[in-house]
Structure 1
Amino acid sequence: MLDDLSRYLGSESNRELVLTQLVQHVPLALLPLVVGVVLAIPLGWLAQRHPLVRTALLGSANVVYTVPSLAFFVVIPGIIGTQILDPVNVVAALSIYTAALLVRPVVDALDAVPAHVVAAATAMGYRPLRRFLAVELPLAVPVLVAGVRVASVSNISLASVGALLGVGGLGALFTSGFQTSYLPPILVGIVLTLVLALVMDLVLVGLRWLLTPWARAGGTR
């Protein structure tokens, strides 16, 4: 097994192929994460403030996330008018998945903001939008980032399914390995997927650390 893996990675053409597929995989997985966060925050804000919206959005999000990813990738072109092999389909589908997955963590994060802090900001003259951006959202970061970490791992995994539509990414290593009954590319794909997920998780932990200076200050006392 190790000899096969060594021979596979010893080929310059294979290394270039793996690097190309890794480079293709990163935007397929991470761009939807950014779009999903941008969509989920205002949706979660509305849901947290209006009970009827909360029930409707959380129920809809649960339904959306149960749709099989491959089926979603195939349906999206008919909705947005793209070709079925266009990577935009994967990005669009994963963005919807991410938003659906993050709506509840956003609501939970905002629910976790102490009520007396919100009341104090209101008493100081903060209007709802300013209060949300300056007080509630920053304090919600720890809970929100926990949800984003789950979504990032999910996206990195689901982006591999896009290879079945011919859009590249690390999933192409899986399909080529299965088609040829050759294990090394499958192992390389698995390892790189795990490494990418770990790196992204560490980045998000670091981002949370940077965005919560009050937590660092409290920890040094």
Structure 2
Amino acid sequence: MNLFADALAWLFSPERLEGPYSLPILLGQHLYYTIVSLLIAAAIAVPAGWIIGHTGRGREIAVAISGAARAIPSFGLMILLVLLLGVLRVPEAAVITFVVLAIPSLLAGAYTGLEAIDRRTVDAARAMGMTAWQVFWKVEVPLGMPLLVGGIRAALLQVIATVTIAAYVNLGGLGWPIIQGIPLQRFDQVLGGAILVALLALIADLLMALAQHAAVPAGIRVQQTARTGRRARAAASATA
């Protein structure tokens, strides 16, 4: 309990707001690498996932790539890329590492979102005279959006957690208090840094959960509410 109190004292110390390693600067660095990596990964994975989900081809390749990317240790990959690219390319090496980490969840969210759509819905849209492009943008993408947002949510949390290791190659971020505090045996600082990373992940998860709920088309939300109401009434009747 004393360690937790020491960690809180470290977090709220006025010194944490001063200097090049102040908490606002470290938070900004953490968010920068997270957002940049996620955007690059989305630009690669989402179109590829949509193509797979729309055409029904290449799913096995996507699963294999996703499995291989998940099996790669992030820390080892970052160190390897730093050695290959050189010390002047450390930011690029770190971003590539985080992009590789984010791609599997984004790719899976993109193609499973389209695969989960009832084919009768797609056939009905075609029967109404929609072109293939209209079916894709007006039917498949909106209906597949909740699962895609779920993939973004998973990728975001993974990247937030992994950006912590960027401090090991002197890129800052909220992992810096942890990396610096361990050899100095400043465990209050280590715990304080861990608390900040955990809070950032929790806030991001909450925001993405709200976004995932909002991504559900209004008509489907109405249907889900109606089904829930019918089940509740049936359960009440059964117990009466």
Fold match by TM threshold 0.5: yes
How many residues are matched? 220
AA aligned to 1:36 is A
1:55 aligns with 2:73: no
Residue correspondence of structure 1 range 80-91 to structure 2 within 5 A: 83-86=88-91, 88-91=92-95
- Quickly say closer, same or farther: Cα 1:53–1:164, change in 2 above 3 A: same
Match of 2:215 in 1: 211
Match of 2:160 in 1: 156
Aligned equivalent of 1:29, options 27, 34, 46: 34
Residue correspondence of structure 1 range 109-188 to structure 2 within 5 A: 109-188=113-192
User: Considering only CA atoms, is the larger Rg found in Structure 1 or Structure 2?
Assistant: 2
State the distance in 2 between where 1:105 and 1:164 align: 31
AA aligned to 1:122 is R
Cα deviation for residue 203 of structure 1 reads 1.5
Whether the aligned pair in 1 keeps the contact of 2:53 and 2:113 (CA below 8 Å) is no
Cα deviation for residue 52 of structure 1 reads 5.4
Query: For 1:83, what is the secondary structure of its paired residue?
Result: helix
Whether the aligned pair in 1 keeps the contact of 2:149 and 2:212 (CA below 8 Å) is yes
State the distance in 1 between where 2:98 and 2:152 align: 13
C-alpha offsets along residues 126-158 of structure 1, whole Å, 9 cap, x if unaligned? 333332222111101222222222211111111
1:196 aligns with 2:205: no
C-alpha offsets along residues 41-83 of structure 1, whole Å, 9 cap, x if unaligned? 2111232355652212221221122111123223445777882
State the distance in 1 between where 2:136 and 2:29 align: 36
Whether the aligned pair in 1 keeps the contact of 2:75 and 2:165 (CA below 8 Å) is yes
Cα RMSD (Å): 2.5
More displaced, 6-15 or 28-37? 6-15
State the distance in 2 between where 1:3 and 1:204 align: 31
Query: For 1:125, what is the secondary structure of its paired residue?
Result: coil
Aligned equivalent of 1:40, options 26, 39, 45: 45
AA aligned to 1:112 is A
Match of 2:71 in 1: 66
Query: For 1:85, what is the secondary structure of its paired residue?
Result: helix
Match of 1:98 in 2: 102
Query: For 1:187, what is the secondary structure of its paired residue?
Result: helix
- Quickly say closer, same or farther: Cα 1:190–1:2, change in 2 above 3 A: closer
Query: For 2:176, what is the secondary structure of its paired residue?
Result: helix
In the superposition, the TM-score normalised over structure 1's length comes to: 0.86
Whether the aligned pair in 1 keeps the contact of 2:109 and 2:151 (CA below 8 Å) is yes
Cα deviation for residue 216 of structure 1 reads 3.8
State the distance in 1 between where 2:86 and 2:141 align: 35
Aligned equivalent of 1:14, options 16, 22, 45: 16
Query: What are the ranges of 5 or more consecutive residues in structure 1 without an aligned counterpart?
Result: none
Cα deviation for residue 18 of structure 1 reads 1.9
Query: What are the ranges of 5 or more consecutive residues in structure 2 without an aligned counterpart?
Result: 227-240
AA aligned to 1:5 is A
